[in-house]
């Protein structure tokens, strides 16, 4: 099983972004040493506990901090931007770090709609134009005759990935002959049929002769099951408090989460997130991930592990890697 990593630069509090970003750099170096194939970073806006609002900037720092692991965007929210500008940015990154850059794009806002409006240069987000933006971006990256010229020129073979969790994204990836990344960590209810739909409708392209699907899921792996479940509960409660406006950017510690009074709303929210993730000891997580990969016909599993403490995250990826050597 091929394993890779998605990092979201989560801050423990709204006033600690420096620490979150330094931990992302440390995790990239650590995952490279462990032998992971990719390290991607996400794009979110107006989230007080998320420092990763500009993946293209973070990728430049990650490239300088590592030497061989592939680095990518998981992903660039393309409707906010000019396709030409994204082609320039990732061409520059790919020339800085040859053979190591993946460009993943998605349609989701990565923010609430008021923030999406603020990101749009004319106040009009271009979500309905996403297929056209993908087409234009592909042309800028791979067509030497495309105008205007992208400078520096994109190196041959710079991959463009389609991210999503809906039938629309799966079909668009298939029709354009792109590799596909299904975000189960965003939508745990996404059906396994999405990857099968993608593979059934795949049209080979010049760069991608066969379909290739990554499934990205949440993992909480620890030396014992009790610790793993405590770390999962901590993230779930912090996420619930954020989406319900209760957190003020301040995260609960695992110790606080274990003592938190959990009511019916919290229980229902946690239950809705429990599907299609892996929690437990290394052996339990291995079994869960293999079953998920089989169910979703995944060619690769990408892991996101939003644990409160850096050392728990490092231990999670160490234990996970040991199960798939």
Q: Helices H, strands E: what count in the chain?
A: 12, 10
Please give the structure tokens belonging to residue 41.
Answer: 């970073």
Task: Give the per-residue pLDDT at 60.
Answer: 98
C-alpha to C-alpha distances, 266 to 143, 239, 255, 257, nearest whole angstrom: 50, 10, 17, 12
11: CB partners within 8 A, 6+ apart: 17, 19, 20, 48, 49, 50, 51, 249, 251
Alpha-carbon distance 278 to 162, whole Å?
24
Q: Given this model, what pLDDT does residue 109 score?
A: 84
Token pair 């061989």 is at which residue?
68
Please enumerate in sequence order all residues whose Cβ is within 8 A of that of 302, keeping only pairs 6 or more positions apart, or say none: 3, 4, 5, 6, 38, 40, 74, 181, 214, 215, 216, 217
> What is the distance of C-alpha 23 from the center of its chain?
16
Return the DSSP state at 262: -
What is the secondary structure of 6-33 as a DSSP string? EE--B-SSTT-HHHHHHHHHHHHHHHHH
CA distance 303 to 221: 11
DSSP 127: G
Among 71, 139, 136, 65, which Cα is nearest to 104's?
A: 71
Q: What is the C-alpha separation between 35 and 196, in angstroms, rounded?
A: 29
Structure tokens at 74: 């998981």
Phi, psi of 66 (to 5 degrees): -130, 175
pLDDT at 194: 96
Structural domains of the chain ordered from first start? 2-226+279-323 (3.20.20.30)
Residue 150 pLDDT: 97
Q: Residue 246 has what pLDDT?
A: 87
d(C-alpha 134, C-alpha 171), whole Å? 13
- Give me the pLDDT at residue 245, please: 85
Residue matched to tokens 């809705």: 272
Q: Looking at residue 50, what is its pLDDT? A: 85
Q: What is the pLDDT along the chain (325 residues), one digit of tens a residue?
A: 899 999 999 888 877 899 999 999 999 999 999 999 999 999 999 887 889 999 999 999 999 999 999 999 999 999 999 999 999 999 999 999 999 999 999 998 888 889 989 998 888 889 999 999 999 999 999 999 999 999 999 999 999 999 999 999 999 999 999 999 999 999 999 999 999 999 999 999 999 999 999 999 999 999 999 999 999 999 999 999 988 988 877 899 999 999 999 999 999 999 999 999 999 999 999 999 999 999 999 999 999 999 999 999 999 999 999 999 8
What pLDDT is attached to residue 176? Answer: 97
Q: pTM here? A: 0.96
State whether residue 303 is helix, strand or coil.
strand
């Amino acid at each position: 099983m091929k394993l890779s990593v998605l990092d979201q630069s989560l801050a423990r509090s709204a006033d600690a972004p420096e620490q979150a970003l330094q931990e992302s750099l440390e995790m990239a170096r650590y995952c490279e040493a462990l032998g992971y194939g990719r390290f991607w970073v996400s794009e979110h806006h107006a989230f007080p506990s998320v420092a990763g609002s500009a993946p293209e900037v973070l990728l430049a720092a990650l490239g300088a901090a590592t030497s061989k692991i592939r680095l990518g965007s998981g992903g660039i929210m393309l409707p906010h931007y000019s396709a030409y500008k994204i082609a320039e940015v990732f061409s520059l990154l790919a020339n800085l770090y040859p053979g190591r850059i993946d460009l993943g794009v998605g349609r989701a806002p990565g923010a609430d709609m008021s923030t999406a409006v603020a990101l749009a240069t004319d106040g009009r987000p271009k979500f309905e134009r996403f297929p056209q933006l993908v087409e234009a971006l592909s042309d800028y990256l791979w067509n030497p005759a495309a105008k205007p010229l992208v400078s520096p020129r994109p190196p041959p073979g710079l991959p463009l990935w389609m991210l999503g969790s809906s039938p629309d994204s799966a079909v668009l990836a298939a029709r354009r002959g792109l590799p596909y990344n299904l975000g189960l960590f965003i939508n745990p209810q996404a059906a396994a049929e999405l990857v099968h739909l993608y593979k059934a409708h795949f049209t080979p392209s010049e760069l991608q002769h066969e379909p290739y699907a990554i499934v990205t899921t949440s993992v909480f792996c620890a030396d014992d099951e009790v610790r793993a479940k405590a770390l999962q509960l901590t993230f779930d409660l912090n996420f619930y408090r954020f989406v319900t406006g209760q957190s003020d950017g301040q995260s609960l510690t695992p110790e606080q989460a274990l003592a938190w009074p959990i009511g019916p709303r919290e229980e229902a929210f946690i239950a809705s997130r429990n599907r299609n993730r892996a929690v437990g000891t290394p052996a339990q997580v291995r079994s869960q991930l293999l079953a998920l990969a089989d169910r979703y016909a995944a060619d690769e599993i990408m892991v996101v592990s939003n644990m409160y403490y850096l050392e728990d995250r490092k231990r999670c990826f160490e234990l996970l890697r040991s199960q798939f050597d």
